[in-house]
C-alpha cells in the first residue's frame, strides 16, 4: 500500500490508483468500494491510519448525502460521470468497525447522518432504491441485494451494542454478503505430521498468535470525542471542498457540485463560522471543541530540473526506454525531471525523481543514464564535470588507554599569561656573560619563575630583544640560546609514539575516523608522500610513520608565525580552524 498511499502533503492522506507493475501514480480518483479499507485497517490493528482515512469518506458523504461511485481528488468533482450510489455498504461497515475499536460517539453520529440521508433520499413504497445521481437525489428503479444483506445489517449493529455479534468472544468474520461465519475450533490450530528416520510419528501443533487491537486515542481534557478534537479533522473537509459549499442562502462555488436537497442548506445543526458545516452534519454541539484548532495544511516541496535543448536535437522517439526496474534515458536534451521531497525521507532533504517529462514513475523505479548520454553536456559546465574527490581521508590514530599514563602536552596559547607578567627587566653581568660557556642558562636563571608557565611566549619575547642594544653581540647570542633551549624543552615534553614508554605502546588503541581536508584559498592537497608510504592499516600499533605531533591551541590569525624550529621538528601540526 505504500505505492497507492498519498500522504498529508496531498491535503489529507488517502489512497489513489497506481500502475500495477511499476507502482507509478496513474489516476487520482477514489471510489465508494475503497471506503471499506479503513475497516480492514482496523482488523489489521492500524487504528490511527484507519481513523485518518475514514475522515475523507465522512466529508464526502457530508457533501453529497451519499458516496458517488468515483470522485476525483484533484478536481474535487465526480469522476467520469459515475455519480450514482447503489446502496453500497462499505462506508457503513468501516464506521461500525471503527466505533467498536474506539467507542467514539463521533461514529454514532456518522451512522445517524447516513441513516437520515438514506431514509430521506432512498425510501420508496415498495423498498429502498439506489441513487442514480447523488447530486440531485434522482432514484433508480432498483434495490441491490447487498443493501438489506449488508448495508442495513451494519447500520443495525452500529446502534445495538448489546447484539450477540457485538459481544461474542469468538473468532468470526462476515462473508462478502454479510453473513456471519464463525471459525470452527478444529480449524483454529493447524497440525502437521512428520516422520523421522526411525519411522516414529511426530506431530507439531502450530499455535495461532492472537493479535491485539491498539487502544483508542486518549481524550483531550474537557472533550467527548477524540476524533472531533483532532487538529487535522478539517484537512479532509478541505480536500472534499466542504468549505466551498453554500451556507444557507449564500451561493457556493459555481464549479462545485453537491446534494441540492442537503439538510444543512437549511442551516440545520450547529453552524460553522467559516465553513459550509461541521461534519458529519448531525454532529451535536457538545462534541465540537470550544477552543479547537486546525493545523496548517502541508505543501509537498517539489521542483523541476529541466535540461536545455541541445542544438540539432530534441525530445525524440526512443529518448526514454523501459528497462527492468526503471527507465533508461538515452538523451537529456529538453528533458524535465520532476523532483519531490520524500516524506519521511531516509535522509534529511532527500528528493526523489517522480516524473520524467509527463511520465510518472513508481516509488521504487530507478533512472539509468549511460555515459554517452552524459557526453551531451558541455564539459566546461562546473555542475556536470566529474572531478576526483580529494577532500576526504581516513585518519588513523594510536591512542593510549585511559588507564595508561599520558604525558600532558604544552599548548601554544598566546593568551595563557596576562601581558603585565612579561613586563620584566634583565639584570646580567656582561663580564660574566663573556666568560661563561652557557650564556643561555645565565639568561634563563635571571628570569622570574612565573614566566616559564608559557615558554612559547617567553621564547618569542627573548627573540624580540635580539638587536635592541647596539654592538651587543654577546647579549644577542645569549638571548638566542635561551630561546632555543625553551623550545627544545617544550618539544621534549610533547607526546609522541616514538618517545612513548614500552608500557604506553602495550596499551595503545587504534582508531580510524573519516576526516575532511580544508578547501578554499590557502588550502592544499595532501603531500604525495602519504600515498606512497606503506598502508598504515598493515602496521602494528605504535609504529605509524608520523610520530611527532604539535597541537597549537590557536588559529594563528592574531599571533606571530610559528617558530621555524617547531615546524622542522614536528611532522604534524594541529591548529584551530580559522574564520
Name the binding residues. 176
Q: Encode burial over 281-315: b for 16+ CB neighbours within 10 A, e otherwise.
A: bbbeeebbbeeeeeeeeeeeeeeeeeeeeeeeeee
Give the whole-angstrom CA distance, residue 536 versus residue 196.
56
Give the whole-angstrom CA distance, residue 252 versus residue 244.
6
Residue 418, C-alpha cell as written in the block: 596576562
Is the CB of residue 480 less than 8 Å from the CB of residue 465? no
Residue 489, C-alpha cell as written in the block: 624543552
- Give the three-state DSSP class for 151: helix
Residue 86, C-alpha cell as written in the block: 447503489
From the number of C-beta atoms within 10 Å of its C-beta (0-12, 13-18, 19+), residue 224 rates as middle
Place of cell 521542483: 303
- The DSSP bridge pattern shows strands 138-139 and 549-551 to be unpaired
How many angstroms separate the Cα of 440 from the Cα of each of 409, 418, 427, 428, 479? 24, 25, 14, 11, 6
- Contacts of 229 by beta carbon, 8 Å cutoff, 6+ apart: 219, 220, 223, 289, 292
- E-strand ranges in 258-407 read 302-306, 320-323, 326-329, 336-341, 351-356, 359-360, 366-369, 392-400
Reference 262, options 394, 393, 121, 80; nearest CA is 121
CA 253 to chain CA mean position, Å: 37
- Give the three-state DSSP class for 320: strand
User: Which DSSP letter does residue 87 get?
Assistant: -
Binding site as annotated, residues for Ca(2+): 176
Residue 261, C-alpha cell as written in the block: 436537497
Is the CB of residue 109 less than 8 Å from the CB of residue 279? no
Is the CB of residue 530 less than 8 Å from the CB of residue 394? no
Question: Please, which residues bridge with residue 204 across strands?
Answer: 192
Residue 28, C-alpha cell as written in the block: 487520482
Helix, strand, coil in percent for the chain, rounding step 5: 30, 20, 50
In what helix (H) or strand (E) does residue 119 lie, and over which residues does it extend?
helix 105-122
- Give the three-state DSSP class for 450: helix
Is the CB of residue 85 less than 8 Å from the CB of residue 66? yes
- Give the three-state DSSP class for 497: coil
- E-strand ranges in 450-565 read 508-516, 549-551
Amino acid at each position: 500500500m505504500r505505492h497507492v498511499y498519498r500522504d498529508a502533503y496531498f491535503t489529507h492522506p488517502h489512497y489513489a490508483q497506481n500502475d500495477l507493475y511499476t507502482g507509478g501514480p496513474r489516476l487520482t480518483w477514489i471510489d465508494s468500494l475503497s471506503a471499506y479499507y479503513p475497516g480492514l485497517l482496523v482488523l489489521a490493528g492500524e487504528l490511527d491510519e484507519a481513523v485518518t482515512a475514514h475522515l475523507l469518506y465522512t466529508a464526502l458523504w457530508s457533501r453529497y448525502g451519499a458516496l458517488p461511485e468515483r470522485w476525483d481528488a484533484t478536481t474535487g468533482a465526480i469522476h467520469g460521470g459515475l455519480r450514482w450510489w447503489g446502496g453500497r455498504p462499505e462506508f457503513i461497515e468501516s464506521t461500525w468497525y471503527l466505533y467498536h475499536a474506539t467507542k467514539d460517539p463521533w461514529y454514532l453520529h456518522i451512522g445517524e447522518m447516513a441513516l437520515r440521508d438514506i431514509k430521506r433520499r432512498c425510501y420508496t413504497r415498495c423498498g429502498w432504491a439506489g441513487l442514480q445521481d447523488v447530486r440531485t437525489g434522482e432514484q433508480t428503479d432498483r434495490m441491490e441485494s447487498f443493501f438489506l444483506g449488508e448495508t442495513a445489517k451494519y447500520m443495525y449493529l452500529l446502534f445495538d451494542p448489546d447484539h450477540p455479534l457485538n459481544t461474542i468472544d469468538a473468532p468470526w468474520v462476515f462473508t462478502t454478503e454479510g453473513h456471519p461465519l464463525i471459525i470452527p475450533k478444529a480449524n483454529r490450530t493447524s497440525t502437521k505430521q512428520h516422520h523421522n528416520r526411525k519411522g516414529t510419528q511426530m506431530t507439531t501443533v502450530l499455535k495461532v498468535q492472537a493479535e491485539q487491537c491498539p487502544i483508542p486515542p486518549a481524550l483531550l481534557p474537557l472533550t467527548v470525542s477524540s476524533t472531533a478534537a483532532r487538529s487535522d479533522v478539517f484537512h479532509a473537509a478541505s480536500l472534499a471542498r466542504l468549505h466551498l459549499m453554500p451556507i444557507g442562502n449564500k451561493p457556493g462555488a459555481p464549479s462545485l457540485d453537491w446534494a441540492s436537497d442537503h439538510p444543512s442548506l437549511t442551516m440545520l445543526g450547529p453552524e460553522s463560522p467559516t465553513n459550509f458545516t461541521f461534519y458529519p452534519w448531525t454532529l451535536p454541539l457538545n462534541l465540537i471543541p470550544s477552543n479547537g484548532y486546525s493545523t496548517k495544511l502541508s505543501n509537498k516541496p517539489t521542483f523541476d530540473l529541466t535540461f536545455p535543448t541541445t542544438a540539432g536535437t530534441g525530445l525524440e522517439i526512443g529518448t526514454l526506454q523501459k528497462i527492468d526496474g526503471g527507465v533508461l534515458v538515452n538523451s537529456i536534451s529538453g528533458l524535465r525531471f520532476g523532483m519531490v521531497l520524500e516524506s519521511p525521507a531516509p535522509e534529511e532533504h532527500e528528493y526523489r525523481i517522480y516524473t520524467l517529462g509527463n511520465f510518472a514513475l513508481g516509488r521504487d523505479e530507478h533512472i539509468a543514464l549511460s555515459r554517452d548520454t552524459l557526453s551531451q553536456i558541455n564539459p566546461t559546465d562546473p555542475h556536470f564535470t566529474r572531478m576526483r574527490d580529494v577532500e576526504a581521508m581516513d585518519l588513523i590514530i594510536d591512542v593510549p588507554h585511559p588507564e595508561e599514563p599520558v604525558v600532558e602536552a604544552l599548548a601554544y596559547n598566546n593568551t595563557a599569561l596576562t601581558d603585565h607578567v612579561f613586563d620584566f627587566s634583565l639584570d646580567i653581568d656582561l663580564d660574566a656573560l663573556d666568560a661563561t660557556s652557557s650564556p643561555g642558562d645565565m639568561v634563563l636563571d635571571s628570569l622570574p619563575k612565573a614566566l616559564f608557565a608559557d615558554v612559547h611566549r617567553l621564547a618569542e619575547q627573548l627573540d624580540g630583544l635580539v638587536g635592541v642594544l647596539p654592538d651587543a653581540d654577546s647579549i644577542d647570542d645569549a638571548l638566542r640560546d635561551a630561546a632555543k633551549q625553551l623550545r627544545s624543552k617544550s618539544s621534549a615534553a610533547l607526546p609522541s609514539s616514538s618517545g612513548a614508554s614500552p608500557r604506553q605502546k602495550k596499551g595503545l588503541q587504534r582508531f580510524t575516523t573519516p576526516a575532511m581536508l580544508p578547501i578554499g584559498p590557502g588550502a592544499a592537497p595532501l603531500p604525495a608522500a602519504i600515498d606512497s608510504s606503506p598502508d598504515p592499516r598493515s602496521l602494528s600499533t605504535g609504529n605509524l610513520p608520523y610520530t611527532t605531533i604539535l597541537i597549537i591551541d590557536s588559529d594563528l590569525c592574531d599571533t606571530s608565525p610559528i617558530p621555524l624550529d617547531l615546524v622542522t621538528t614536528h611532522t604534524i601540526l594541529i591548529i584551530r580552524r580559522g574564520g
